[in-house]
Chains A and B, each alone.
Chain A
Amino acid sequence: MAARRMSSLLSSRNVSSLASAFSRSSGKGSSYSRGIISRFSTAASAAYEEPITPPVRVSHTQLLINGQFVDAASGKTFPTLDPRTAEVIAHVAEAESEDVDRAVSAARKAFDEGPWPKMTAYERSRIMLRVADLVEKNTDELAALETWDNGKTYEQAIGEVEVLARLFRYYAGWADKIHGLTVPADGPYHVQTLHEPIGVAGQIIPWNFPLLMFAWKVGPALACGNSVVLKTAEQTPLSALYVGNLFLEAGLPPGVLNVISGFGHTAGAALCSHMDVDKLAFTGSTATGKTVLSLAAASNLKPVTLELGGKSPFIVCEDADVDKAVEMAHFALFFNQGQCCCAGSRTFVHERVYDEFLEKAKACALERVVGDPFKKGVEQGPQIDNEQFAKIMKYIKSGVESGATLEAGGERFGSKGFYIQPTVFSGVQDNMLIAQDEIFGPVQSILKYKDLNEVIKRANSTSFGLAAGVFTQNIDVANTLTRALKAGTIYVNCFDVFDAAIPFGGYKQSGQGREKGIYSLNNYLQVKAVVTPLKNPAWL
């Protein structure tokens, strides 16, 4: 089955069309057939309901090191919480420096002595393809685990697991297509370049898309023949351990993929500073990205790929299809509870269509269905944790205080867990905090503009440069904005299209390097030039 694309899947207002995704799990999920969906504007009766029991057991909570699930060296654990209730889902082994050392040492051995980089590329691709098959076979469990630990809707999680399988098939296909070059010389020399695996890759992933970030990181690293130590986010350790186990089942040799759960300042820092890690990839906040890069610089100068924050403009021109623009702008911001690094968090609307757009955007937000993410038809679950919840509420307060007009939402949703009402601000000015900082929550900021040069200047005057949306039917306008915007991805009349082949990454403080697509392979390869003299060459 083809992977559903996230954008079309998730931007569909007609949620019932997703029913088919649910029916497959109907055998286990009588709990899904529960009651009425709550719009956020209705009395938050939904939140008083008991949370639906997730149809999955937590089977892996230890660290995956050298092909074995093991306790942390210290014996310590930490709780991972259900964002719907803040209650403990499971206690998970807490990795620290010593565990990172063990994992790196296993990965080192697997790389230096183990079969992985010495296997044929075809054999590596076969293992990755088997993983994709296994992921698909376990879609429902994986999706349920992801929803439980993260708070994203189960329907969305099903789509993400499909993309996970799609990404691993994509990277499996790259394994035997990594070509070096033969290189023209200025004299009698034979020159070639070898694109070699870089060695032990350390990877640190965030909590907003635990499985997709796993695939963006692990996929290219393995395709290129590296071994991996992956640290998950402390908020969402569960699904990566589950997939880590599927990798073992698929025949991945021990030590090639090590998965450790833990915190940034302990396990994460140890990985960044490790003298025996050859490459680092990090997705997270810009502030942490700077720390990560500094640690890499101060230790062994391992090259670092960074995917960081954003404050992406979403530009609606006067000739745009306003209904579609409203719909996509809503999706661009509210998707995944607003917890996207590329969220379209500055909605610039041309003054001629501003009033119409605003009215419809507000209506759209008011209709957004908030509730238990396991409930059919729910569009928005809780935020990830209390810290994010409090931060978002603070930004909403700041928006009100700075004189922006609160059009919808603005409050907590319900009284339990970390739910927030879909919130829309209009009349937002560039110098307000809500127009400058990454909020990472369901808070849409709508700004008015007059002409193209003005909006280009305003869209670019940010320290971020991750993505941009452009809505217009005019090809000249589309081409002008496409070149002028300083962002790693420009979506024209669409948003959040995340195909495996489309590179993703940031300009400016949104990061360095590109993930996905052909470009992602660069992150996990070293280039070695090999030069040999020629005796009596037939040609040069």
Chain B
Amino acid sequence: MAARRLSSFLLFHSLSRSAASSFTSEENKILKRNIQRFSTAAAAEEPIAPPVEINYTKLLINGQFVDSASGKTFPTLDPRTGEVIADVAEGDTEDINRAVSAARKAFDEGPWPRMTPYERSRIMLRFADLVGKHNDHIAALEAWDNGKTYEQAAKAEIPMLVRLFRYYAGWTDKIHGLTVPADGPHHVQTLHEPIGVVGQIIPWNFPLLMFAWKVGPALACGNTIVLKSAEQTPLTALYVANLFQEAGLPPGVLNVVSGYGPTAGAALASHMDVDKLAFTGSTETGKTVLGLAAQSNLKPVTLELGGKSPFIVCEDADITRAVELAHFALFFNQGQCCCAGSRTFVHERVYDEFLQKSKARAMKRVVGDPFKKGVEQGPQIDSEQFEKILGYIKSGKESSATLECGGGRFGSRGYYVQPTVFSNVEDDMLIAKEEIFGPVQSILKFKDQNEVIRRANASKYGLAAGVFTKNINTANTFARALRVGTVWINCFDVFDAAIPFGGYKLSGTGREKGIYSLQNYLQVKAVVTSLNNPAWL
């Protein structure tokens, strides 16, 4: 089955028709409850029991699931209730050392970088097939641990995981170096070599997609990996890593360590035997990670960090579509997207219409148990994020923005937040400057193009932007003037495997996905040989 694209899938409102087919009849019984709009009191119901068991809670090191060296565990929680799903082995410095040492051995002595690229690609393709086979199980695990809707996980994200690994499997035997023109009698070539042991730290908002963005290119290029998952969402990475073993990945090539940033994460970032680091998370933590890499062994670092992405609606835009996509750009995944369109700039001539429709759309947003059919929005990931978002909502109210809808907790249990819309937002308000990472849309008014370009760029971030216009000159002007890594024109959150993703400014360094992502995991070696009597130069 072809991977459905996230954007088109998630904009599709009548989820119930197409989604039902993927559920087993037993699951259907569980799921067959009424959909709750956010204004109704859904949260009082008992949460639906996820149709899945937890099989893997230990650390995956050198091809074995093992306890942490300390024997410690930590609980991973159900965002719907705050209750414990499972206790998971807690990796710390010593576990990182073991994992790095396994990865080192697998790289220096093991078969992985010495296999043909074709053999590596076969293992990655087998893995993709296995993930496809376990689609529903993995999706349930992801929804349970993260709080995202089961439909989003099952219909979009897991198929995208499969699609990404097939994409990277195809790169393994297409990594070309160059032969290089010389100024004299020398034969010059470049080899693009695997960089070695790669440390990767992924966030909780898209645990499996971030797994694919990191692990896919690293393996395609012949590296070995120590991956640290987020402490909020350790379960799915362990599950799919086991599928990798089943697919024939040699031991030590992919090690997965669950644990916290200040302990396991810092140990990985500082490790003297890790050759490369990739991190996705907040800008603040990104700075720390880069500092640790700089002070230890200067490992190169790829960073995907925060954003405050503008979504610009021009006066000639298709308003109905712009409203829908602006809503999607912000509320998708409970607003927990680094590239969320979190500053909705609307031209003054269409502002009133846009606002009215946006508000109506947010009021219609279906909040509830993510395992329930037709639900569009589940709970936020944890109490820390929940509190932070409510803090920003409070700040929005106090700063004289107009609260159009939402603005409070949804229900009385778990970390649900009402879809919230602010209008009359000004550039200097906190809600227009900081990354909220929650379901809070800020709508701002603009008058002319130069003004909105200036305002859109007046942010420390530069991850993405949306532009809605029918005019090709306007589109081209914005595409060049906006200082961001992705410009979506009349669309948003299109995440194809081949489209590079990454930030300008404090949104990060480097690009993931696409041909550009390979650079992150390759060293360039120039080889120069002297020539005797060359036939040509």
Q: Which A residues contact B (CB, under 8 angstroms)?
A: 2-3, 5, 8, 166, 181, 183-187, 189, 191, 193-194, 196, 199, 278, 286, 289-290, 293-294, 296-298, 300-301, 303, 306, 308, 463, 478, 482-483, 486-494, 497, 499-505, 507-509, 511-514, 517-519, 522, 526-533
Contact = CB atoms under 8 A, between A and B. Distances in A.
B294 A294 contact: yes
A522 B519 contact: yes
Q: Which 3 A-B pairs have the closest CB atoms?
A: A293-B294, A297-B290, A492-B529
A503 B2 CA distance: 40
A194 B479 contact: yes
A491 B191 contact: no
A98 B297 CA distance: 32
A497 B189 CA distance: 13
A186 B497 contact: yes
Contacts of B516: 193, 527
A185 B163 CA distance: 12
B434 interface: no
A526 B487 CA distance: 13
A523 B209 CA distance: 27
Contacts of A519: 190, 524
Contacts of A308: 298
A287 to B, nearest CB: 10
B459 interface: no
A517 B529 CA distance: 17
B429 interface: no
Contacts of B286: 301
A490 B178 CA distance: 15
Given A297-B290, A297-B294, A528-B484, A501 B188 contact: yes
B498 A531 contact: no
7 contacts: A297-B287, A297-B291, A497-B188, A502-B526, A514-B524, A530-B479, A531-B488
B294 A181 contact: no
Interface in B169-206: 178, 180-184, 186, 188, 190-191, 193
Nearest to A117: B480
A508 B297 contact: yes
Contact of A8 (B184, B190, B519): B184
Nearest to A489: B526
A172 B265 CA distance: 44
Contacts of B186: 494, 497, 499
B402 interface: no
Nearest to A306: B298
Contact of B525 (A187, A487, A497): A487
A497 B487 contact: no
Contacts of B309: none
B514 interface: yes
A506 B193 CA distance: 13
A301 B491 contact: no
B526 A529 contact: no
A489 B500 contact: no
Interface in B465-518: 475, 479-480, 483-491, 494, 496-502, 504-506, 508-511, 514-516
A488 B485 contact: no
Contact of A300 (B496, B501, B505): B505
B295 interface: yes
A488 B528 contact: no
A450 B375 CA distance: 70
Contacts of A191: 494, 496, 498-499
A503 B179 CA distance: 11
Given A166-B183, A514-B524, A301 B305 contact: yes
A220 to B, nearest CB: 15
A527 B502 contact: yes
A530 B506 contact: no
B191 A196 contact: no
B275 A531 contact: no
B523 interface: yes
Interface in B283-322: 283, 286-287, 290-291, 293-295, 297-298, 300, 303, 305
Contacts of A517: 180, 190, 526
A503 B526 contact: yes
Given A490-B526, A509-B297, A529-B501, A499 B178 contact: no
Contacts of A181: 515
Contacts of B496: 183, 185-187, 189, 191
B84 interface: no
Given A186-B496, A297-B291, A489-B527, 6 more contacts: A184-B498, A293-B290, A301-B286, A478-B529, A499-B182, A499-B186
Contact of A488 (B180, B489, B523): B523
Contacts of B524: 488, 503, 505, 514, 519
B395 interface: no
A290 B528 contact: no
Contacts of A300: 460, 505-506
Given A193-B500, A530-B487, A494 B295 contact: no
A3 B184 CA distance: 10
B489 A532 contact: yes
Nearest to A469: B528
A199 B481 CA distance: 12
B5 interface: yes
Contacts of A494: 186, 528-530
Interface string B315-331: 00000000000000000
Contacts of A530: 479, 486-487, 489
Contacts of B491: 189, 531-533
A56 B523 CA distance: 43
A530 B489 CA distance: 7
Interface in B97-145: none
A301 B486 contact: no
A199 B530 CA distance: 39
Contacts of B40: none
A186 B5 contact: yes
Contacts of B509: 301, 303
Interface string B266-288: 00000000010000000100110
Contact of A529 (B163, B181, B295, B499): B499
B399 interface: no
B3 interface: yes
A508 B499 contact: no
B487 A531 contact: yes
B515 A500 contact: no
Contacts of A166: 183
Nearest to A493: B530
B184 A5 contact: yes
Contacts of A297: 287, 290-291, 294
B287 A482 contact: no
Contacts of A531: 486-489, 491, 494, 499
B8 interface: yes
Given A183-B499, A514-B524, A499 B486 contact: no
A276 to B, nearest CB: 11
Contacts of A196: 480
Most chain B CB neighbours (cut-off 10 Å) among A278, A308, A528: A528
B526 A512 contact: no
Interface in B452-470: 460
A120 B488 CA distance: 26
A193 B487 CA distance: 10
Nearest to A297: B290
A494 B530 CA distance: 6
Given A501-B182, A530-B489, A531-B491, A186 B290 contact: no
Nearest to B506: A301
Given A499-B183, A505-B524, A186 B298 contact: no
A94 to B, nearest CB: 27
A294 B519 CA distance: 22
A499 B529 CA distance: 13
Given A488-B523, A502-B182, A512 B298 contact: yes
A505 B195 CA distance: 14
A358 B381 CA distance: 67
Contacts of B193: 483
